[in-house]
């Protein structure tokens, strides 16, 4: 990565405007050589009917943080990232507070990035464990 932590966080939070990430109030809060962390509030706007964090909201957090992390391993002028597969195991429920998605790189190839994303609560309890595969594509040349 050729970016400072501050540049990574500012860029992630900026490109989240007017997207699902903004709707879910996802905020990128920490970054390093091989990880990116974002947080999301747990409140009725992300609940399923039983008043618990919706699994789809957890997956949206996981894909958001894993896809954003891949962006910093590519040349954004020449390449782009597409999530091609995500799996999630929901292990614990939560009704309120914050969840944190921590994406850590498992494999960084030229065309495939594999991420493990742990969704935890404020006490560090594992809520969901996700795996995301991203494909790195060359941008189409415009004339």
122 as an active site residue: the answer is no
In degrees and rounded to multiples of 5, residue 44 shows phi and psi of -55, -25
Write out the E strands in the chain.
Answer: 27-32, 35-42, 79-90, 97-108, 112-121, 126-138
Active site residue: 27, 33, 63, 116, which one? 63
Instruction: Give the distance, in angstroms, between the CA of residue 47 and the centroid of all CA atoms in the same chain.
Output: 19
CA distance 114 to 134: 6
The CA dihedral of 102, 108, 111, 112, to the nearest 10 degrees, is -50
Residues tagged active-site: 63
């Amino acid at each position: 990565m050729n970016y400072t932590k501050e540049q990574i966080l500012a860029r992630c939070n900026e490109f989240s405007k007017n997207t699902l990430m903004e709707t879910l109030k996802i905020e990128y809060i920490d970054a390093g050589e091989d990880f990116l962390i974002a947080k999301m509030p747990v409140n009725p706007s992300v609940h399923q009917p039983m008043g618990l964090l919706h699994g789809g909201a957890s997956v949206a957090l996981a894909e958001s943080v894993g896809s954003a992390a891949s962006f910093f391993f590519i040349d954004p002028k020449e390449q782009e990232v597409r999530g091609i597969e995500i799996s999630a195991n929901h292990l614990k429920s939560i009704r309120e507070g914050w969840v944190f998605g921590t994406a850590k790189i498992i494999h960084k190839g030229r065309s495939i990035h594999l991420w493990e994303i742990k969704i935890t609560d404020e006490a560090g309890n594992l809520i969901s464990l996700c795996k995301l595969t991203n494909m790195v594509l060359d941008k189409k040349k415009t004339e």
